[in-house]
Amino acid sequence: MASAATRSLSSLISHRRNPPSSSSSSSSSYHYCYAPTRRPITISVGSKTTRRPISIVAASSSSSPLAGAGADTDPNPTSAPAVSKNRRPADENIREEAARRRAEEEGLNGGGGGDCRHFSAWYAPFGSADGDGDAGGERYSLDEIVYRSRSGGLLDVRHDMCALARFPGSYWRELFDSRVGRTTWPYGSGVWSKKEWVLPGIDDEHIVSLFEGNSNLFWAERLGRDHLGGMPDLWVKHCGISHTGSFKDLGMTVLVSQVNRLRRAPLSRPIAGVGCASTGDTSAALSAYCAAAGIPAIVFLPADRISLAQLVQPISNGATVLSLDTDFDGCMRLIREVTAELPIYLANSLNSLRLEGQKTAAVEILQQFDWEVPDWVVVPGGNLGNIYAFYKGFEMCRALGLVDRLPRLVCAQAANANPLYRYYKSGWADFQPLTAAPTFASAIQIGDPVSVDRAVFALRATDGIVEEATEEELMDAMSLADRTGMFACPHTGVALAALFKLRDRRVIGVNDRTVVVSTAHGLKFTQSKIDYHASSIPDMACRFANPPVSAPKTVETGEDSIEEQINFFNLLPISD
């Protein structure tokens, strides 16, 4: 039965590099293909069928956000989007409501045209010529399952920028602002409130969202004032205060939504599940989104590296955690073979869909500053996809006229895993992969980053900088931030340590508006904090350790008079 399944699968696999008739070698560059005919992509924004509109604006709630957009050739939108709260009828759930809205829009517009807009996106090789006119170039539908370009390089999701640019920047600003707090599925999500820029082709009812995004842009008042020379405009984007506790949610909602879409398409054998090889945030996010959608998730891991504690999220979310008696390289080899032959989608770090979700954090930062551009954005870097995602979000806002410039990006690496830092120091002359040493910032302990080319592109385009942080520097920076009200993870510590250094060298000015990207919740990394505050880390001074204070026995037993007890308490270091 299994081999029959394998055979029927083989007929589905489209061998792009080799013609379909060639041998079934297990090369990992096969493109498992679906959707020979693509139906026109129709994006409809806002509802024409508001049942019980509760207008929160003075404008008419019946006007669609796109009503002012006019025809394709001359949109010239002048009126702002109306923000109408939309109550679905009691016999409908929010997915059914989304499906009904789409059906109504399509009926109204004959399946496209009218005042519905047509946006689209596709895969193209990273670094290839831009623009939607290169019909002759290599490109793939987002409905194809393809991880690398023909030459084995990275792919990039490209958007039809001409279609998007038919609307001025003010239109997009107002549209995105109008969706904050929207209860209409799926716009309550920080990612899907930018749906036209993320996955324009997906139907709303196929989206798998846990209301990711819209994360706190925290004003680091005390850290800036007390520890960075009176910096008044320092902010931390807390991407880790999220459903699974890390920024990976932003990308995973896009990847799993696309898989969900493909599973609903008329494939002869649908995608059976999604796989990854990760002990960390990726497997946690993948498992949660797959669990929410009812899609099987498989996590491949070397047996000797597995502890239940590391894996508590995927295990709890019902993923199949596969313990293999091999090392990480063996896992990766096996996962590539298996996903090339079996209909298991690969959620690895190559995947460019995830970056489409992650880039919305950049758009959100601009939105949270009322569309003013910060001077600096500091991002921790390991596999280096995220810094490119931030660049991409900022650059789309610039290209489409929402803002008029880019912030300067800083990529912060742990000194124990600093191949990009070394590359930067060589003037981008010589990239050398290395064997990363252990670091408390375990998620960025990567010596040969997949997305190095993406990162270099982002840094060159933004006059960017790469900085590094030793273990002591990153733990001290994390601990100092905690003292001012945060609960940072060690990766955020790397970014903060880079900020300290750049401030010391006066590269970042005291009045520069600066955003540090926090990538995970500190609750995921409590052991490193425990070790630090116990001063039990070898060769580290742990100078901000804050162990418990023991009161003298006489205080506790009440043998002292109340006045003597108070004398003790007055000695406590509780003054400012």
Give least dist CB 556 to its own copies, A: 5
Residue closer to its own copies, measured from CB, 101 or 238:
238
320-324 vs 297-302, strand pairing mode: parallel
Least distance to its own copies, CB of residue 202, Å: 17
Structure tokens at 76: 């010239």
Taking the complex as a whole, the smallest distance from the CB of residue 296 to its own copies amounts, in Å, to 4
C-beta of 204: minimal distance to its own copies in Å? 13
Q: What gap in Å lies between CA 331 and CA 299, rounded to an integer?
A: 10
**Cα distance between residue 482 and residue 234, in whole Å:** 15
Which lies closer to its own copies via its Cβ, residue 132 or residue 341?
341
We find the least distance from the C-beta atom of residue 484 to its own copies, in angstroms, to be 6
Separation of alpha carbons 325 and 127, rounded Å? 38
Q: Which of 548, 43, 61, 128 is nearest to 352 (CA)?
A: 128
Nearer of residues 82 and 228 to its own copies, judged by Cβ: 82
- Beta bridge pairs of residue 262: none
Q: How far is the CB of 100 from its own copies (least distance, A)?
A: 14
Mark out the alpha helices in 435-525 (DSSP H runs): 452-461, 471-483, 490-504
**Quick one: 211 or 431, whose CB is closer to its own copies?**
211
Nearer to its own copies, 398 or 533 (CB): 533
The smaller minimum CB distance to its own copies, of residues 108 and 315, is found at 315
Q: Toward its own copies, which CB reaches closer, 165 or 315?
A: 315
Q: Return the DSSP state at 520.
A: B
Closest approach of its own copies to the CB of residue 199, in Å: 20
Residue 81 CA, distance from chain mean position? 27
Distances (CA, A) of 428 to 110, 314, 460: 53, 38, 10
Provide long-range contacts, Cβ within 8 A and 24+ apart, for 562-568.
Answer: none
Give me 290's structure tokens. 């797959």
| 3-class DSSP string for 462-474 | CCCEEEEECHHHH
Of 573, 568, 543, nearest to 554 (Cα)? 568
CB of 348 to its own copies, least distance (A): 17
Query: Closest CB to its own copies among 219 and 428?
Result: 219
Gap between the Cα atoms of 354 and 507, Å rounded: 32
